Structure 1
Amino acid sequence: MPKANETILEIDLTALKHNYEHLRSKLQPNTKFLAVVKAFSYGNDSVPIAQHLEKCGTDYFAVAYTSEGEELRNAGIKKPILVLHPQKINLETIINRCLEPSIYSQKTLLEFIETAKRKNQTNYPIHLKFNTGLNRLGFDKQDLPFITETLSGTTAVKVVSCFSHLAASEDLTEDAFTKSQIALFKDITSNLIPKLGYTPILHQCNTSGILNYPQAHFDMVRSGIGIYGFANDPKYQPDLIPIASLKTVISQIHELQPGDSLGYNRGLITNKVMRTATLPIGHADGLTRIYGKGKGFVFINNQKAYIVGNVCMDMVMVDVTHIDCEEGDEVIVFDKIHTAEALAEAAETISYELITDLSKRIKRVFLI
C-alpha cells in the first residue's frame, strides 16, 4: 500500500469483517450479534463501519447517544439501533428516527411511556437495563414490581430486550464476581418474563464475555472493542486483527547540542548530541500529553522512536538519534504489528482511550 504523506488513519474493512466473523463463530447459530458503534465507532468513523457491518449481517447496533443514532439513520442504516444512554430531551427524536431506548430507571420508564403516548405509539420497542454489579446504570431487582405494574397499564411500549453489563469479564481473577452477575441477571429475568407474558431478547456479554463466558451468551451478545481488533487478553489476540493504522510523516529534523531545550516549557534539556524529528500530530489529534517525555513512541523505518519533551497541540518531537531517516519518511504511530494497545500500556492507559480520542480532523482512509 502507498506510504503516508500526511497524518492518516487507515481502516481495514477486511479485518473488520474477519473480527466480526470470528466472534460470531463463537456463538450458537440463533444467537444474535449486536455491534457497538458508539464514539465514532471507537474512533474509526461510525457510518462506513456500520454500513460494512450491516452488509456482514450484524443483527443490531448500539450507540451511546441519540445523535449518534441519528447519524446512522441519515446514512441509510436500516438495522435496529439501541441508544444506551438516552436523555429526556431526545426522547421524541428517538421515536421520530426509529431508535430504541435503553430504559434504566423508574424515571426514564415513565418519561418514555409519556412520550410514546403523546406520539400515539403502540408497542414501541424499549430495552430494560438491569444493574447486576457495575453500579452505573440500570434497574435493581427490587424495581421489578414497579416495572411490571407500569408496563401492564400501557400499550404504548413493549420490551424488546432485557440486558445487563459485565464489570470485569476480561479479568478471570474476578470470575466469582462475574458469575454472580450472570446468576443475578438470570434471577431477575426469570422473575420478570412470566409477568410480561412474552420473552424478550436477553443479553449480557460484551467482547470478553463472548470469549470467556459462553454460558452467558443468552439470545444476543454485544461487541465493541473486539470487532475493532482488540481481545483484552493476550491468549485471544492472535485471532483478532486491529483494523486501524495511524500513520504520519517526518516534517523536519533537528540536530540538538548538549544543553539545548526542546518544545514548550523546555520539556527536554539535552545532555548529549541528539537528533529529533518533528511530526504533524499532537494532542488535538488524540495523541495526548500523557505520551510525552519518553512514555510514548512511534516507529520509523521499523525502529522505535520515543516522544521527547511535551506533546504539542499539533506536533510531537521524537528521538531519531539512532535511526537512519529523513524528512518525508513515513511514521507508524500504531498498526497491526505495533499496536495501539502497546502504546497505550506504555502510558498506563488502555487502547479504548487512545483510539476513541482520535480527532475527526485526521483523514480516514478505508481499505477493502
Structure 2
Amino acid sequence: MSRVVINKQNLYSNMDFFVQKLGSVDKLCVGLKDNAYGHGIEPIAKLCKSYGITNVFVKNLKEAKMIDRFDFDKVHILNYIPKIKTKYDITINYLEDIKKIPQNSNVQLKVDTGMHRNGIKPDEIKKAINQITKYKLNLSGIFSHYCCADEETIKTINQHKIFQKLLKKVEGKGNFEKHIANSSGVFRTDNELYDKARVGIGVYGYIDIPKYQKYLKPVMSLIANKSSTRIVRKGDRVGYGSDSYEVVKNTLAISNYDIGYGDGFFRIDENKSYFTPNNKEILGRVSMDSLSLNSIADEVVLFDDVRELAKLHNTITYEILTSINSELKRVVVY
C-alpha cells in the first residue's frame, strides 16, 4: 500500500534546532494547519505532545477539534470564527470580526505591520482593544506576521519596529502574549522580546535561508507500491499520448506504481525529467492513480526531500507537501 512516512527523529531534530534558538520549548508554537503541512495532523500532534510542545496553531475549528485529545495548553485558530464559545484562541483579522465572536472567547488580535493581507491597521490598535473589552472578549495575544523574513531586507526590520512601537501603546492593557516570527523570522528577530514563534515549515525540515537549511532534515517521504511489471522494447511508448516516453533500449523492465496526481503527486512537465532518490526515472505521463518507473522493486521512495520537485514544478516546498492526499496512510518511523 502506498503511504506517507513520517520520520520522528528528523522532526525532533528540527524542533531541537528551533528550541535552541528560541531558548525554551514553551516558545515553540508548531504549525499544524492544513493537515500539518500535509504530514498528517493527528500523528504530528501526537509527536508534538510527546516532545513537550504546549502551543500549536491550526487553520479552522475542524482541525482544532481533531487534536482535542492531545490537550495542548493553547490552540490558536487562524481563519475561522465559531458560532459558539470555544476553548480555543480565535483570530481577529479585521475590526469587524470583533462583534462576530461569541462573548467570553479568547482572542488573538492580528496587526498588519506590512504584509497587507490580514490584520487591523496599526493605528486601529486602541480602538480594537476598546471593542474587545466592550464585547466581553478575553485578549489572549497580539501578533503580526513577517512577509519576507527569508530575504535579507529592511522590510523585516521595519515590521519589527512597527510592531514594537504598537506594543508600547498597549502596555498595561492586559496580560497577553506577543509574537511575530514565522520559521525564517526566528533568525531575523530578537526572540527575547516575544513569548513565542509560530514555526510551520521549519519543523518539517525546510527553510528558505540556505545557511540554516543545512541544519534541518525533511520529515516526509512518499512511498509507492508496485501494481505490475512488464518488459517493453525499443520503440514502445509508455503511458498516455502518442508522443509519450519512447523506449530507446532493446528491452527495458518497467513497473507501474500506485501513486498519481489524484494522490497529490503532480504531473511532470514532459520536457523535464524526474529521478527518485534511488535514481529511478518516471517514464511517460503521471496518471491519476499511478505512474511508471524503470524499476522492478516492490516499492519505491518517490521523494524524501521535496526541494527538487518544487524546483521542477516552479513552486515552493509548501505546495508540494500540502498537496499530498490526506487519505494516504501516514506511518511514523522511530
TM-score by length of 1: 0.83
Q: Higher mean Cα deviation, 145-154 or 342-351? A: 145-154
What does residue 72 of structure 2 align with?
78
Q: Is the 8 A contact 1:207 1:226 kept in 2?
A: yes
Question: Is the alpha carbon distance of 1:80 and 1:296 closer, same or farther for their aligned partners in structure 2, counting shifts above 3 Å?
Answer: farther
**1: CA distance, partners of 2:2 / 2:314:** 24
Q: Distance in 2 between matches of 1:170 and 1:216?
A: 20
Alignment of 1:241-256 (within 5 A): 241-250=217-226, 251-256=228-233
Give 1:107's aligned amino acid: E
1:146-199 Cα offsets, whole Å, 9 max, x none, are 213313434x21211110111111112xx20111111111122221334x2x24
Question: Secondary structure at 1:239's aligned position in 2?
Answer: coil
SS at match of 1:11: strand
Q: Which of residues 163, 166, 170 is equivalent to 2:150?
A: 170
In 2, Cα distance between the equivalents of 1:125 and 1:209?
A: 25
| Aligned partners of 1:103 and 1:126 also within 8 Å | yes
Within-5 A mapping of 1:132-143: 132-143=113-124
Matched letter for residue 313 of structure 1: M
AA aligned to 2:140 is: V
| Pair 268,131 (structure 1): closer, same or farther in 2 beyond 3 Å | same
State the 1:60 CA deviation: 0.8
Structure 1 residues 215 and 61, CA, compared in 2 at 3 Å: closer, same or farther?
closer
Within the alignment, does 1:229 sit opposite 2:205 as a pair? Answer: yes
1:217 to partner: Cα distance: 5.7
2:237, 2:247 within 8 Å by CA — same for their partners in 1? no
Is the counterpart of residue 180 in structure 1 residue 153 in structure 2?
A: no
CA, structure 1 residues 109+238, in 2 after alignment: closer, same or farther (shift >3 Å)?
Answer: same
1:247–1:333 Cα contact (<8 Å) kept: yes
Q: Residues 267 and 71 of structure 1: is their aligned pair in 2 closer, same or farther, counting only changes over 3 Å?
A: farther
CA offsets 1:21-48 (integer angstroms, 9 cap, x no match): 2101001349622111011111111112
What letter corresponds to residue 312 of structure 2 in structure 1?
Answer: A
Give the one of 289, 309, 313 matched to 2:288.
313
Q: How many residues align?
A: 331
Rounded to whole Å, the distance in 1 between the matches of 2:48 and 2:112 is 29
SS at match of 2:146: coil
Please say if residues 112 and 119 of structure 2, whose CA atoms lie closer than 8 Å, have aligned partners that are also in contact: yes
Tell me how far 1:52 sits from its aligned partner. 1.7
Per-residue CA deviation, residues 91-120 of structure 1 (Å, 9 max, x unaligned), is 31xx24x111011111111111xx21xxxx
**Gap regions ≥5 residues in structure 2:** none
Task: Output the aligned Cα RMSD.
Answer: 2.2
Give yes or no for the alignment of 1:147 onto 2:128. yes
Tell whether the 8 Å contact from 2:14 to 2:217 is kept in structure 1 after alignment.
yes
Equivalent in the alignment of 1:128? 109
What letter is aligned with 1:72? I
CA contact (8 A) 1:298 1:332 kept: no
Q: Confirm or deny: 8 A CA contact 1:182 1:216 kept in the other structure.
A: no
Q: CA 1:226–1:296 in structure 2 vs 1: closer, same or farther (change >3 Å)?
A: farther
- Asked if 1:213 is matched to 2:189, the reply is yes
2:137 aligns with one of 147, 154, 157: 157
Whether the 8 Å contact between 1:36 and 1:224 is mirrored in structure 2 is yes
- Partners of 2:29 and 2:191 lie apart in 1 by 17
More displaced, 224-233 or 272-281?
272-281
For residues 59-98 of structure 1, the C-alpha deviation after alignment (integer angstroms, 9 at most, x for no partner) is 311001111001111x3433210000114xx331xx24x1
Give, in angstroms, the shift of residue 299 of structure 1: 2.4
CA drift of 1:55 comes to 2.3
Q: Establish whether residue 280 from structure 1 lines up as the match of residue 258 from structure 2.
A: yes
- Paired with 1:217 and 1:37, the residues of 2 have a C-alpha distance of 24
* AA aligned opposite 2:91: S
TM superposition score normalised by structure 2: 0.91
Percent identity over the alignment? 24
Please name the residue that 1:63 is paired with.
Answer: 58
Q: Contact 2:45–2:70 at 8 Å: present in 1 too?
A: no
Distance 1:187 1:295, change over 3 A: farther
- Equivalent pair of 2:25/2:53 in contact (CA under 8 Å): no
Between the aligned partners of 2:206 and 2:25, the Cα distance in structure 1 is: 25
C-alpha displacement of 1:256 = 4.1
In 1: Cα distance, 2:165 partner to 2:131 partner: 20
SS at match of 2:128: helix
Is the Cα contact below 8 Å between 2:19 and 2:25 reproduced in 1? no
